[in-house]
Structure 1
Amino acid sequence: MKSILLTSLLLLTNVLNAQPSIVDTLELGHSIVMVTTDLPDGSNGRGSGVVVSPEYVATNCHVIANSKGVNIAKFRDGYQPIGLKANWKRDVCLLKFDPLPFKPIPMRDSQSLQYEEEVFSMSFPAGAPVPQLSYGAIKGIYPFDGSLIVRSNASFYMGSSGGALFDQHYNLIGLTTFKSPGQPAFYYSLPVEWIKELMAAPETTSLKTNDVPFWALPLEQRPYFMQVVIPYQNADWRDLKTIAGQWTGQEPASADAWYFLGLAEEGLQHYVQAEQDLKKAYDLNQRDVDAMLALSRVAFVQKDLATLESIQPAIQAIDPEQGEKVTQQIQALKQASP
């Protein structure tokens, strides 16, 4: 009987911790809309939008910028906006409507988010007829322009711009907006605080703009969290070290800056310095599994048993599979010691 009860409890725990299924999100999907535009060349553009109030649908400005017209579609019905609020540089736009027959989605501020927190996205990639789900976890939270840009590994594709990133309680935590080229791809979402701020802003009268979103500026003008991606993907460790060094100089409290600097030092086989940098990343953020795993690799090379034993519980608590690998590293070092 005890065995059956334990099995039942484990199954219940797995269900409670599981990502939501398509069935679980059917009602939520009613508040995710397709945004369509009429482009100057006579073609049509598509993106996604999120109902954030009875009157407003949030989307990315780049979806509608410089188009001839815009509307939203849901359940084969179309709705024409009666107003627009835009922050072109932040890439957040609000389409205003007569009250819509859709339930607004509650929003959760980015300040309360945690690394490795499970998330999922919903949007209309490639003109899909119904919202599509993608699952992942938060991999980065970057201070920018008064709020936090969220990076996750919940993938999204063309047509997903302006879609929704959710936490496990179905709160909107970001607008799925842009991704990096190359592999592994980095997927970024804009914070809901920018949506809230825009609600209080005056309306604009035109879809025309010459402003460029911050993420589409020339590479050297983009935030450091974007500048490090290409050298990281290309294993260009010297370039990565230069950029990450500038990042740590400007944001010494950024765990991610120290993480990428440590990766560069590891790639250059400067293991002593790499371990120092990665320890700083760990001290600043003990939920960044990627940084902790990098630290475990370097500590293993350095035969630093104390560091491995200190970080193993933190890794185990978040990712048991990776925690077991670190346990094996610890055992290997102990066996090799005289």
Structure 2
Amino acid sequence: MKRWILLALMCVYAPSLLAWPSVAETIPLGYSVVIVSTDLPDGSTGRGSGVVVSKEYVATNCHVIANTNGANVAKFRDGYKPIAIKANWRRDLCLLKFDSLPLTPIPMRDSSTLNYEEEVFSLGFPAGSPVPQPSYGNVKGKYAFDGGLIVRTNATFAMGSSGGGLFDEKFNLIGITTFKSPGHRGFFYCLPVEWIKELMDSPDILGLKTNEVPFWALPPEQRPFFMQVVTPFQNEEWATLKTIATKWVAEEPNSPDAWYFLGVAEEGIGEIPQAKIALQKATQINNHDLDAFVA
């Protein structure tokens, strides 16, 4: 029976390659996704990505520009120097402010409206690429954190793509590509656009110096539960995973992912009846959670 359920779900949720845009179809986004270049204290240069979210602002990750000697935006061989920035160092979200940019702002869609398994693609400038490179995938998780929803995707991104965009099939910006978990089977995370809208109302600052650490770079025990579960999950350390997931369920009983990881841990330990209950709870909360259905 489980085999038939799995096959049915795969038919329903299987990614449609026709729904993902080709590289050529993403060309119009080239007017909205930019290179963020920085001058580093040692005299070298750094580089990340950014997304034009208004005629005044380019969104990027703070870790791209933090503690550098300066930053600018490059597009089509033209450079633009910001007049100020807005920063939430702990969230790792910064806005570069300009008088007026001759670039195209991208429409934004709140992460709260996204569905699990929805088709998405990331766009940024990995590994020194002179043109933005797309990577295709799906929404794999949404995690409540600091008043927003962190989005997990399997649309990969690499060094240089920090500050780039995650887009839906209608080319709406749905997240800022920010960090991944360690290892070759990394989980990829994006900041919510709701945070961009909040940051627009914050005061301008002129300096790039900070001692604050992004939430995702804190010591492991201080990171959110959705990050703490990844390493024991990938290493099949089921007892450790169960301990973390149990705490997560207690703190966020309406999180389908908390129940999913608890169920996976219990299944790994051999606690099959308890695992079934946890996985059923995950699918009851979110009937788009393909991972919970097939676990």
Alignment TM-score, normalising by the size of structure 1: 0.82
Distance 1:33 1:194 in 2: 20
Structure (1 or 2) with the larger CA radius of gyration: 1
Query: Is contact 1:183–1:233 with CA below 8 Å preserved after alignment?
Result: no
Distance 1:43 1:266 in 2: 50
Instruction: Determine the structure 2 residue equivalent to 1:19.
Output: 20
Is 2:66 the counterpart of 1:51? no
Task: Give the deviation of 1:111 after TM superposition.
Answer: 1.0
Letter in 1 for 2:260: Y
Instruction: Determine the structure 2 residue equivalent to 1:281.
Output: 282
Distance 1:111 1:60 in 2: 21
Task: Give the deviation of 1:16 after TM superposition.
Answer: 9.3
Q: Structure 1: which 5+ runs fail to align?
A: 1-13, 295-338
Q: Which has the higher helix share?
A: 1
Distance 1:254 1:193 in 2: 19
Q: Structure 2: which 5+ runs fail to align?
A: 1-14
Distance 1:44 1:25 in 2: 28
Instruction: Determine the structure 2 residue equivalent to 1:100.
Output: 101
Distance 1:15 1:60 in 2: 31
Query: Is contact 1:161–1:177 with CA below 8 Å preserved after alignment?
Result: yes
Query: Is contact 1:220–1:227 with CA below 8 Å preserved after alignment?
Result: yes
Task: Give the deviation of 1:47 after TM superposition.
Answer: 0.3
Q: 1:16 to 1:291 in 2, by over 3 A?
A: closer
Q: Percent identity?
A: 67
Distance 1:212 1:32 in 2: 26
Structure 1 counterpart SS, 2:25: coil
Instruction: Determine the structure 2 residue equivalent to 1:221.
Output: 222
Distance 1:17 1:130 in 2: 23
Structure 1 counterpart SS, 2:275: helix
Instruction: Determine the structure 2 residue equivalent to 1:123.
Output: 124
Structure 1 counterpart SS, 2:196: helix
Instruction: Determine the structure 2 residue equivalent to 1:186.
Output: 187
Instruction: Determine the structure 1 residue equivalent to 2:247.
Output: 246
Task: Give the deviation of 1:15 after TM superposition.
Answer: 8.5
Distance 2:163 2:175 in 1: 9
Distance 1:25 1:258 in 2: 37
Moved >6 Å (runs of 4+) = none
Instruction: Determine the structure 1 residue equivalent to 2:43.
Output: 42
- Residue correspondences, number: 281
Query: Greater RCO between the two (CA within 8 Å, min separation 6)?
Result: 2
Letter in 1 for 2:21: P
Task: Give the deviation of 1:183 after TM superposition.
Answer: 3.7
Letter in 1 for 2:104: K
Instruction: Determine the structure 2 residue equivalent to 1:68.
Output: 69
Query: Is contact 1:29–1:122 with CA below 8 Å preserved after alignment?
Result: no
Query: Is contact 2:266–2:275 with CA below 8 Å preserved after alignment?
Result: yes
